[in-house]
């Protein structure tokens, strides 16, 4: 198997590179390092199963030789990243998806799109099932990510229906684990680094908004099972255990034993109030459900952030 992973030097992409290399795949990792980091794949350099190409997939993608799978994971994915890079986010979700699908078509390869729970926007249905069409503000600041991913799903289905490409769509819910950046901007890495440094823990809004956090190894296993399945419609992959952001902050404070104080900051525009995946389809189609409980996942992630911060925060 020869698999192209766009965004392969990112948080999730790099875990996928490791997972597939362990399964015996040859991996071609394409990343322009806008939010991805060489640190995430440096251990694979020199491995004959691994090749790195520094390239922006919003431009035409050239890969020589045969390809069996194209996994499109390139995109800024943290709200602070897509606010900083709105045009790049729109381009990689639209042009990047088009180019990745074009590569899959040219190579007669399977295609898997990394989509997102953000397609549900600020949801009015709870928990979110795949047949819910969502509640997205196209002109708000989050629209650049949400609409790009919705367009990417539409493009993927068009290539499936019109060009008969063998496609998959995974809707990824909040995921965490080692290789998140210190400056990622999302709640979990922010809270961990703030707690470890003794800085204030910044809760946006009143902290009663909810999320459901999936450990990265569970996510990658679900994605692999989806790749092996014959399912063309979107599948949610996430951990259905829902908590408030306030509870997340308190769990991290307890775990670190930090004396950091919680401070409240303004809630970002269009910040979803609730989020929880309905994973019935993943369970029945893929026989998948998450295995790593939050206490364990948080401990492993904390160990990683401790190492990064004590080495001077090299992976920012």
Residues that bind ligand UDP (CB under 6 A): 79, 174, 186-187, 190, 202-204, 209, 211, 245, 267-268, 271
Six-digit token string for 238: 């996430």
User: Distance between CA atoms of 268 and 264, rounded to whole angstroms?
Assistant: 12
- Quickly count: other Cβ atoms within 10 Å of residue 188's Cβ: 23
Nearer to ligand UDP, 81 or 231 (CB): 81
Q: How far is the CB of 193 from ligand UDP (least distance, A)?
A: 10
Cα–Cα–Cα angle for 52, 150, 182, rounded to 5 degrees:
50
188's enclosing H/E stretch is helix 187-197
Pairing of strands 242-244, 210-212: antiparallel
**Distance of alpha carbon 57 from alpha carbon 69, whole angstroms:** 16
Which CB atom, from 52 or from 73, has the smaller least distance to ligand UDP? 73
* Shortest separation between residue 60's beta carbon and ligand UDP, angstroms: 30
Closer CB to ligand UDP, 23 or 265, in the complex: 265
Q: CB-wise, 79 or 96, nearer to ligand UDP?
A: 79
Closest CA to 153 of 234, 227, 223: 234
Using left for φ > 0, alpha for ψ between -120 and 50, and beta otherwise, residue 173 falls in: beta
CB of 126 to ligand UDP, least distance (A): 15
Residue 240 belongs to what H/E stretch? none
Catalytic residues: 145
Smallest distance from ligand UDP to CB 48, Å? 37
């Amino acid at each position: 198997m020869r698999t192209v992973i766009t965004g392969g030097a990112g948080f999730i992409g790099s875990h996928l590179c490791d997972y597939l290399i362990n399964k015996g795949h040859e991996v071609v990792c394409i990343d322009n390092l806008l939010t991805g980091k060489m640190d995430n794949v440096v251990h694979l350099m020199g491995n004959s199963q691994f090749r790195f190409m520094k390239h922006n997939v919003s431009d035409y993608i050239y890969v020589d030789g045969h390809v069996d799978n194209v996994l499109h994971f390139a995109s800024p994915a943290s709200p602070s990243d897509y606010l900083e890079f709105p045009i790049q986010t729109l381009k990689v979700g639209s042009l990047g998806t088009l180019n990745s699908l074009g590569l899959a078509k040219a190579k007669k390869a399977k295609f898997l799109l990394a989509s997102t729970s953000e397609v549900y926007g600020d949801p009015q249905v709870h928990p979110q099932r795949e047949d819910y069409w969502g509640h997205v503000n196209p002109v708000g600041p989050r629209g650049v990510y949400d609409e790009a991913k919705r367009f990417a799903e539409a493009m993927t289905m068009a290539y499936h229906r019109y060009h008969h490409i063998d496609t998959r769509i995974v809707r990824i819910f909040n995921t965490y684990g080692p290789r998140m950046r210190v400056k990622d901007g999302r709640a979990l890495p922010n809270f961990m680094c703030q707690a470890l440094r003794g800085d204030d823990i910044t809760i946006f809004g009143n902290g009663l908004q909810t999320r459901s956090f999936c450990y990265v190894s569970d996510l990658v296993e679900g994605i692999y099972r989806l790749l092996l399945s014959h399912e063309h419609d979107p599948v949610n992959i996430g951990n259905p255990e829902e908590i408030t952001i306030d509870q997340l902050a308190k769990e991290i404070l307890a775990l670190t034993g930090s004396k950091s104080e919680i401070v409240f900051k303004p809630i970002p525009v269009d910040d979803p109030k609730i989020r929880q995946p309905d994973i019935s389809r993943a369970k029945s189609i893929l026989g998948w459900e998450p295995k790593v409980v939050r206490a364990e996942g948080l401990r492993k992630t904390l160990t990683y952030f401790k190492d990064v911060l004590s080495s001077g925060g090299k992976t920012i």
